[in-house]
């Protein structure tokens, strides 16, 4: 559609812009991208969200609306957001929600480009696994995750936790270990987080030499809600482009809750009535539309690992619960474990994983994992008793379980590569066989005479 010069801005309400088209001209469909042709500075992208009377489209700005005034000319972007067909030129680049570089390097050549809007409609949506095909496990080298919450290629995993529980550092470690030791293209979506965190993440990728296989998309906390909301969709679209070329994509998002918040801000700006929980009435559909695009094909897959901020440590928050339905694994981070210095601070009793099955991980792995969980459950019960009457009042059998559970907790803590500058300890990548063997030895009682402190933050058991 080419509207000519007569489509114009008629009103600006913060991040909401009304654009009027001439009578007799069909309105662009919802989600179409428009461009305000600014007389000075860069053009500003708009996304159509509503059709109103008098041939008016109500749009959300993907950027700041400073300087946008009445009667400014508006054009329809025929292809919407575009990216180069050759994805190799995007590796190592930092993009915004419009797929425009923001890393102060050379501009992208968009002559040979493709629209990323609704890219999913061109992908094969058949069943991703053949009958009888065994799911493929992705090893992270992190003992707690590989043992109790194994990542499956093509799955979605959520890292849940309140502020300062270690979500970002854990997701960075997973990215580092998977990209460094295995194959795949990393698509990272930084949604609604601080500029400082994005800057640190970029320099961490640079330091660890991960940029050559990564594409970073940011919609930071200081940007408009439209940019934050659309950054997640742009990142997923790039992951779909990788998938269409028959390559595995690793999709990381920090943070899904900020994506929900951006949607809530847009809903408020548009004057929509919120739901009883205070969130937008479209909460469930927005989360579904994003996560249904994260899937697999027969030749390749998108594996998603997403950080989920839990407001006030409340796991019953409506936004957090809405995200639960789309996750195959839920890894909950505990503030009490952070206070005890156990990293990663994963609470295994609140977490869950559909992949922990003998058919997927094998009988030995499954049985050791169940025995570890059994020790943790019993430890939680005994800890309450011991805190009141003292550990010495427990029976000899209970004292043994209590001590072994503490040794398991310490052994499943681990030094991270991405935290070396803070801890002074070199990072460790631990193979799953070493993790299982170490847990077996602790459960059997081989290390009963060993001090539990000697197992804290080590790699293999023989360290």
Same domain for 122 and 270, yes or no, is: yes
Residue 451 is part of which domain span?
Answer: 363-455
Residue 125 pLDDT > 50, yes or no? no
Section 53-59 average pLDDT: 92
> Are 336 and 206 in a shared domain?
yes
The single residue of 52, 70, 194, 364 carrying the catalytic annotation is 194
Percentage of residues in the chain with pLDDT exceeding 90?
Answer: 55
- Both tokens of 121, joined, read 């409609």
Single out the residue in 291, 321, 356 at which a domain terminates: 356
Q: Select the more confidently predicted residue: 401 or 210.
A: 401
Find the CATH number of the domain harbouring 9.
2.40.10.170
Buried-state track 420-430, b at ≥16 Cβ within 10 A, e below 16: eeeeeeebbbb
Q: How many whole angstroms separate alpha carbon 51 and alpha carbon 65?
A: 20
Active-site residue identified among 93, 156, 167, 404: 167
Domain co-membership, 22 together with 64: yes
CA distance 91 to 235: 13
Whether 134 is covered by a domain: the verdict is yes
| 16 located within any domain | yes
pLDDT band of residue 122 (cuts 50, 70, 90) is: low
Question: Mean pLDDT across the stretch 318-347?
Answer: 93
Shared-domain flag, residues 60 and 104: no
The Cα–Cα gap between 99 and 93 comes to 10
Q: What is the pLDDT of residue 118?
A: 56
Does the pLDDT of residue 314 top 60, yes or no?
Answer: yes
Q: What is the spatial distance between Cα 23 and Cα 140, in angstroms, rounded to a whole number?
A: 58
Alpha carbon distance 274, 162 (integer Å): 24
Q: Residue 66 has what pLDDT?
A: 87
Has residue 462 been placed in a domain? no
Give me the pLDDT at residue 95, please.
93
Does the pLDDT at position 444 exceed 90?
A: yes
Q: Is the pLDDT of residue 113 over 60?
A: yes
Alpha carbon distance 100, 108 (integer Å): 8
| 128 lies in the same domain as 239 | yes
Q: How far is CA 297 from each of CA 181, 368, 424, rounded to the nearest angstrom?
A: 23, 32, 42
User: For residue 120, is pLDDT > 60?
Assistant: no
SS3 per-residue string spanning the chain: CCCHHHCEEEEEECCEEEEECCCCCCCCCCCCEEEECCCCCCCEEEEEEEEECCCEEEEEEECCCCCCCCCCEEEECCCCCEEECCHHHHCCCEECCCCCECCCCCCCCCCCEEECCCHHHHCCCCCCCCCCCCCCEECCCCHHHHHHCCEECCCEEEEEECCCCCHHHHHHHHHHHHHHHCCCEEEEEEECCCHHHHHHHHHHHHHCCCHHHEEEEEECCCCCHHHHHHHHHHHHHHHHHHHHCCCCEEEEEECHHHHHHHHHHHHHHCCCCCCCCCCCCCHHHHHHHHHCCCCECCCCEEEEEEEEECHHHCCCCHHHHHHHCCCCEEEEECHHHHHCCCCCCECCCCCEECCCCHHHHCHHHHHHHHHHHHHHHHHHHHHHHHHHHCHHHCCHHHHHHHHHHHHHHHHCCCCCHHHHHHHCCCCCCCCHHHHHHHHHHHHHCCCCCCCHHHHCCCCCCCC
Can you give the pLDDT at residue 112? Answer: 78
246-274: average pLDDT: 92
| Residue 335 shares a structural domain with residue 189 | yes
Which position among 58, 153, 193, 306 bears the catalytic label? 193
- State the pairing for strand pair 214-219/185-191: parallel
**50 a catalytic residue:** no
**311 inside domain:** yes
Residue 462 has a pLDDT of 82
Pick from 236, 283, 268: which is nearest to 60 by CA?
A: 268
Q: Is residue 460 part of a domain?
A: no
- Measured CA to CA, the distance from residue 20 to residue 57 in angstroms comes to 6
Higher pLDDT, 176 or 376: 376
Instruction: Give yes or no for residue 262 having a pLDDT over 90.
Output: yes
Instruction: Provide mean pLDDT across the span 324-342.
Output: 92
Average pLDDT over residues 80-108: 88
CATH of the domain at 284: 3.40.50.300
Kindly state whether residues 284 and 405 are assigned to the same domain.
Answer: no
Per the structure, the count of domains in the chain is 3
The last residue of one of the domains, among 356, 376, 402, is 356
Instruction: Judge if 317 and 248 occupy the same domain.
Output: yes
What's residue 41's pLDDT?
A: 66
In terms of domains, do 371 and 322 share one? no
Is residue 461 assigned to a domain? no
Q: Are 114 and 406 in contact (CB under 8 A)?
A: no
For the CA atoms of 220, 221, 225, 230, what is the dihedral angle to 10 degrees?
20
Please name the residues in contact with 2: beta carbons below 8 A apart, sequence gap of 6 or more. 75, 76, 78
Can you give the pLDDT at residue 127? 42
- For residue 343, being part of any structural domain is answered with yes
Q: Specify the range with the lowest mean pLDDT, choosing from 195-209, 233-247, 326-340.
A: 195-209
Query: Above 60 in pLDDT, residue 286?
Result: yes
Position 92 in a domain: yes
- Do 398 and 351 lie in one domain? The reply is no
Lowest mean pLDDT among 36-45, 223-232, 406-415: 36-45
Name the residue among 219, 308, 294, 217 with its Cα closest to residue 255.
308
Establish whether 193 is a catalytic residue. Answer: yes
- 298 plus 229 within the same structural domain: yes
- The CATH number given to whatever domain includes residue 410 is 1.10.1140.10
Pick the last residue of a domain from 76, 104, 123: 76
Reported confidence tier of residue 126, pLDDT bands at 50, 70, 90? very low
Handedness of CA 8, 10, 12, 17 (dihedral sign): negative
How are strands ordered across the β-sheet holding 156-161? 94-95, 214-219, 185-191, 249-254, 302-309, 156-161, 329-332, 352-353
Q: What is the mean pLDDT of residues 380-396?
A: 87
pLDDT of amino acid 216 = 94
**Same-domain status, 191 and 299:** yes
Is 315 buried (19+), middle (13-18) or exposed (0-12) by CB count in 10 A? middle
Average pLDDT, the chain: 88
| Backbone Cα Rg of the chain | 25
Higher pLDDT, 42 or 90: 90
């Amino acid at each position: 559609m080419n509207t000519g010069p007569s489509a114009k801005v008629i009103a600006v309400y913060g991040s909401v812009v009304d654009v009027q088209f001439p009578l007799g001209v069909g309105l662009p469909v919802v989600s179409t991208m428009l461009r305000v042709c600014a007389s000075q500075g860069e053009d500003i992208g708009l996304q159509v969200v509503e059709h109103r009377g008098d041939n008016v489209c109500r749009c959300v700005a993907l950027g700041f609306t400073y300087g946008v005034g009445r009667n400014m000319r508006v054009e329809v972007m025929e292809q919407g957001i575009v990216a180069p067909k050759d994805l190799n030129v995007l590796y190592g680049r930092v993009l915004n929600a419009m797929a425009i570089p923001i890393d102060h390097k050379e501009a992208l050549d968009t002559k040979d480009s493709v629209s990323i809007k609704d890219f999913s409609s061109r992908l094969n949506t058949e069943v991703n696994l053949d009958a009888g095909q065994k799911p493929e496990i992705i090893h992270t080298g992190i003992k707690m995750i590989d043992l109790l919450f194994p990542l499956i290629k093509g799955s979605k995993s959520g890292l849940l936790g309140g502020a300062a529980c270690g979500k970002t550092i854990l997701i960075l470690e997973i990215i580092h270990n998977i990209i460094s030791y295995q194959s795949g293209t990393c698509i990272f979506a930084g949604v609604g987080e601080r500029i400082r965190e994005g800057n640190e993440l970029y320099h961490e990728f640079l330091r660890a030499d991960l940029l050559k296989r990564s594409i970073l998309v940011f919609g930071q906390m200081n940007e408009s809600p439209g940019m934050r909301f659309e950054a997640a969709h742009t990142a997923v679209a790039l992951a779909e482009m990788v998938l269409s070329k028959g390559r595995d994509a690793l999709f990381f998002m920090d943070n899904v809750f900020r994506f929900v918040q951006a949607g809530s801000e847009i809903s408020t700006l548009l004057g929509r009535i919120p739901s009883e929980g205070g969130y937008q009435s479209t909460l469930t559909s927005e989360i579904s539309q994003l996560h249904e695009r994260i899937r697999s094909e027969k030749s390749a897959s998108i594996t998603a690992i997403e950080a989920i901020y839990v407001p006030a440590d409340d796991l019953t928050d409506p936004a957090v619960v809405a995200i639960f339905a789309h996750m195959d694994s839920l890894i909950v981070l505990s503030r009490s474990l952070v206070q005890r210095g156990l990293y990663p601070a994963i609470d295994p009793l609140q977490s869950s994983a559909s992949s922990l099955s003998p058919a997927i991980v094998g009988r030995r792995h499954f049985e050791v994992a169940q025995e570890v969980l059994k020790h943790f459950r019993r430890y939680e019960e005994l800890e309450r008793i011991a805190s009141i009457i003292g550990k010495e009042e427990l029976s000899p059998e209970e004292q043994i379980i209590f001590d072994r559970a503490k040794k398991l907790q310490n052994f499943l803590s681990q030094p991270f590569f991405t935290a070396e500058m803070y801890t002074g300890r070199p990072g460790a990548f631990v193979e799953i066989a070493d993790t299982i063997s170490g847990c077996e030895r602790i459960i059997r009682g081989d290390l009963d005479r060993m001090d539990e402190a000697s197992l804290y933050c080590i790699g293999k058991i023989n360290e």
